[in-house]
């Protein structure tokens, strides 16, 4: 079982949107560490360099990879040893396996199941003091992806024709990838308001890929010899050179979309963004507030497919399942693959390739961060902090609170240990940071990896890793 197969479970109705990109990611375990170089990405007022500046190692200065969700691998993979009816040699079984009872599967599925995969790669960053304050210029690759699937979709895949009616609502997929050139400036406003610092960042954005898929409705009823459904869906896709693939449906007498041809990659949109932030120190407390990613990208070459409102469809594709169907003697009489499932879902929605949509403007996923830091008066190198981060994205809006203890026993070393609680449950985070003359290295996890499946996949969907190598000067 590969990660691609797991995401196909969620992305099956997006036709060929299986290669998922990911969301802008920062490491909040380093939020309260003074010598963590990339605090300014969580609040532009926290660009504090001990020396004159820094330069990152190309492509290794700040790497963030993570995923979040309330649907975990352990919810869709099951140990084969629990099911004596299974006679194969696999140790884990996908939830679609007919030897796993539907009741065992559906008790693990939420009414709404969200999964996001998150990546941010720093290509090059430079920090320096000038213009009356501190500055950073960075070029990075950013991506956002989320899948939100209702419980009824899993019921259809698992139970198939054992139920005669299904009502699938608000199945959503969005994915965005872009390059970001960022200019950050921070300055001390102590002469105006003692303890106050402010910062701002301006971002030039170069869009690389965007997909927004809205599967709004699929009301299905199994008739005597076919499914009858009322469906409603829209898909927008923007790549430099892409076109929807179509297939002719003889029963409906028209073509419908069954895939997406992506022939090349390049810039397919432009945009701008802003970060705004401030910090205020009062006695042993330091308060901070920031708004990130206020902006938009205007996408070009937008391809649009739609049911054009509610559409009534008739299909004889009885099976929306995958796996083997056996007779009473255990003999395989039918085998249904992921491609069969994809084609049957395409046949269900029958989206028409409407047109080249031209341009389309989409807002960035704005983030609000606010925090308070307490410096322990009896040991000034120890800080306790609480930070809240809320990411706004319609159905995928999330929030989390992180409570941390942060220590810097010597100038060249600091560390954080923290607990997090939010939209996707609770977890543990940490970060260690080494900063000596001419060299900086950090490694941390906002959500620590737990138990892994045999394939090396985390069984819990909340896992994030951050590392980087930089050169202070």
Residue 85 lies in a domain: yes
In a domain, 183, yes or no: yes
Cβ partners under 8 Å of residue 32, min gap 6: 371, 373, 383, 385, 387, 404, 406, 416
Domain that holds residue 224: 3-364
CA distance linking residue 64 with residue 17, whole number of Å: 23
pLDDT tens digits, 331-364: 655 566 767 776 777 778 888 887 777 899 999 9
**Tens digit of pLDDT for each residue in 249-284?**
776 677 888 778 887 778 999 999 999 999 999 999
Q: Is residue 466 part of a domain?
A: no
Q: Is residue 146 in a domain?
A: yes
Measured distance CA(196)–CA(287) in Å, rounded: 10
Which residue matches tokens 């139970």?
159
> Which two tokens mark 55?
């330069």
The pTM score is 0.85
pLDDT band for position 20 (cuts 50, 70, 90): very low
Q: What is the pLDDT of residue 453?
A: 64
List pLDDT tens digits, range 41-88: 999 999 987 667 999 999 999 999 988 889 888 888 888 889 888 888
User: Closest Cα partner for 369 from 125, 124, 28?
Assistant: 28
Question: In Å, how far are 10, 62, 205 from 120, measured between CA atoms?
Answer: 23, 8, 14
**371 assigned to some structural domain:** no
Domain for residue 248, yes or no? yes
The answer as to whether 370 is a domain residue is no
How many Å apart are CA 35 and CA 22, to the nearest integer? 28
Torsion of CA 80, 82, 84, 86, to 10 degrees: -20
Count of residues making up the chain: 473
The residues pairing with 463 across neighbouring beta strands, listed in sequence order, are: 67
Residue 385 has pLDDT above 90, yes or no: yes
Q: Is 382 within a domain?
A: no
SS3 469: strand
> Within the chain, how many helices (H) and strands (E) appear?
5, 24
Q: Are 27 and 433 in contact (CB under 8 A)?
A: no
- pLDDT tens, residue by residue, 179-198: 999 999 999 999 999 999 99
In this prediction, residues 120-143 reach a mean pLDDT of 95
The DSSP 8-state label assigned to residue 452 in this structure reads B
Q: What total of structural domains would you count in the chain?
A: 1
């Amino acid at each position: 079982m590969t990660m691609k197969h797991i995401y196909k479970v969620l992305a099956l109705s997006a036709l060929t949107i299986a290669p998922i990109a990911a969301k802008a990611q920062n490491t909040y375990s380093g939020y309260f560490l003074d010598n963590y170089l990339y605090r300014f990405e969580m609040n532009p007022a926290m660009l504090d360099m001990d020396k004159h500046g820094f330069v990152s190692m190309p492509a290794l200065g700040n790497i963030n990879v993570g995923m979040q969700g309330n649907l975990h691998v352990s919810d869709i993979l099951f140990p084969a040893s629990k099911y004596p009816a299974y006679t194969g040699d696999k140790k884990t079984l996908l939830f679609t396996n007919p030897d796993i009872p539907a009741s065992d599967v559906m008790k693990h599925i939420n009414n709404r199941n969200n999964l996001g995969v998150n990546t941010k790669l720093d290509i090059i960053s430079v920090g320096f003091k000038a213009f009356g304050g501190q500055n950073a210029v960075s070029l990075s690759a950013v991506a956002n992806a989320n899948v939100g699937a209702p419980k009824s979709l899993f019921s259809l895949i698992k139970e198939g024709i054992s139920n005669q009616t299904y009502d699938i609502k608000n199945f959503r997929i969005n994915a965005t990838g872009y390059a970001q050139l960022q200019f950050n400036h921070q300055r001390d406003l102590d002469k105006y308001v003692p303890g106050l610092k402010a910062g701002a960042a301006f971002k030039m954005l170069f869009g690389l890929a965007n997909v927004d898929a809205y599967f709004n409705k699929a009301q299905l009823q199994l008739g005597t010899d076919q499914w009858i459904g009322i469906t409603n869906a829209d898909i927008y896709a923007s790549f430099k050179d892409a076109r929807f693939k179509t297939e002719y449906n003889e029963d409906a007498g028209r073509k419908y979309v069954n895939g997406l041809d992506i022939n090349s990659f390049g810039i397919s949109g432009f945009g701008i963004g802003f970060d705004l932030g401030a910090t205020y120190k009062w006695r042993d407390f330091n308060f901070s507030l920031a708004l990130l990613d206020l902006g938009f990208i205007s996408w070009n070459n937008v391809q649009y497919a739609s049911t054009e409102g509610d559409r009534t469809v008739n299909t004889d594709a009885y099976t929306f399942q995958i796996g083997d169907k056996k007779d009473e003697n255990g003999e395989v009489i039918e085998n249904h693959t992921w491609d069969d499932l994809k084609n049957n879902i395409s046949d269900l929605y029958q989206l028409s390739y409407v047109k080249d949509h031209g341009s389309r403007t989409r807002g960035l996923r704005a983030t609000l961060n606010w925090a308070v830091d307490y410096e322990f008066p009896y040991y000034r190198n120890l800080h306790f902090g609480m930070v809240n981060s809320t990411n706004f994205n319609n159905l995928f809006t999330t929030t989390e609170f992180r409570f941390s203890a942060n220590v810097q026993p010597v100038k060249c070393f600091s560390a954080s240990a923290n607990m997090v609680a939010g939209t996707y449950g609770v977890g543990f985070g940490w970060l260690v940071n080494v900063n000596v003359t001419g060299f900086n290295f950090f490694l941390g996890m906002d959500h620590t990896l737990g138990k892994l499946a045999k394939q090396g996949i985390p069984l819990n969907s909340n896992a994030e890793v951050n590392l980087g190598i930089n050169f202070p000067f």
